Structure 1
Amino acid sequence: MKFGEKATVEGDKSGTVGVTVERVEKGDNADLSGLENPEKYKGKTPFYVRYKLTKTAEGNGNDASSHFEVSKDGKRLTELMVFTSFDTTGDPSNPLVVRAFERCEGAGHTKYEEAAEGQSVEGCAIYLAEGSGAPSTVTWTRHNKTLATWKE
């Protein structure tokens, strides 16, 4: 399929789920400078996979075993998982500051589970490439089985 097209795939436990890879955006190495130990990412380019998950009429609960795999020239890219952090401020009226990677945030399984039938949840996943060439293929897989493939 091409980016922007929706695949309807079997759910993890029942029913089906609509999966759409909207687009892949090239980031900049500077995007990673706010992460802990940013020197680990020197020479790497982040790519942001913008996607949409649509809960079908049959429903499908938590599909935690499915995920995207992204490749460039047949080589799989590394997914970068960035977790939200909570920093203390020392101010009793506002004791915590939430820090998130605002450039790209996942859809989250809870958000998907709470969605009404027919509703879509948008998200983003981060993949790192050596150099700057864009990835050519995005797949939706479950237990090493490819369920859908998008190519630019």
Structure 2
Amino acid sequence: MKRRAVGAAAVGILALAGCSSSGQSLKFGGTATVAGDRSGTVGVTVVRVEKGSNADLSGLKDASKYSGKTPYYLHYKLTKTAEGNDNDESSHFEVSKGGKRLTELLVLTSFDPTGDPSNPLVTRRFDRCQSASHTAYKEASEGQSVEGCAVFLATKETMDPSTVKWTRRSEALATWE
């Protein structure tokens, strides 16, 4: 599945990475302040992980390929704690249970033709979970936050994830449990 450049769309946060156990340890709701990839710092908060239902995925193209999978919604907040950290494309979240990672589901906005010349396209979004806006983060002043959500799919083996990591190049910078 193609990965959406949420690094370009949300400071590079929606992807999977390595499983290092270094970094800050926090409870859900806690904020980790981490150095940016190139400069500055960012406050990363895992607000919560919310269980969805397979029915949430029924409106997606080829929804049958998600049969037997349960979506989990990672709600997060990014706070610009220093100017300059708006191009961090190598940091991202990993969601797991007992070391078994969930698969990230990247849902792109679609533009479907309507056949109506006065309204030729209709935009469809996955309203259940929207990533943070890279533009909003980039334009944020120091101290301002943007909120977002990432979708991860669980199988029977990875139901009810208990760990979220913010990683960069296979190094865990912060872990929430």
Structure 1 residue aligned with 2:164, among 124, 138, 142?
138
Q: CA deviation at 1:92?
A: 2.4
Q: CA deviation at 1:59?
A: 3.7
Report whether the alignment pairs 1:110 with 2:135.
yes
| Alignment-derived partner of residue 62 in structure 2 | 37
Report whether the alignment pairs 1:28 with 2:53.
yes
Unaligned runs of 5+ in 2: 1-25
Q: Residue 107 of structure 2 aligns to a residue in which SS?
A: coil
Q: Residue 57 of structure 1 aligns to a residue in which SS?
A: coil
- Contact residue 62 and residue 112 of structure 1 kept, 8 A: no
Moved more, 130-139 or 46-55: 130-139
Q: Which amino acid aligns with 1:124?
A: C
Q: CA deviation at 1:109?
A: 2.2
**TM-score (norm. length: structure 2):** 0.81
The number of aligned residues is 151
Unaligned runs of 5+ in 1: none
Alignment identity in percent? Answer: 72
**TM-score (norm. length: structure 1):** 0.94
In 2, Cα distance between equivalents of 1:21 and 1:115: 19
| Alignment-derived partner of residue 12 in structure 1 | 37
In 2, Cα distance between equivalents of 1:110 and 1:57: 16
Q: Residue 119 of structure 2 aligns to a residue in which SS?
A: coil
In 2, Cα distance between equivalents of 1:28 and 1:106: 19
Greater relative contact order, per chain length (Cα 8 Å cut-off, separation 6+): 2
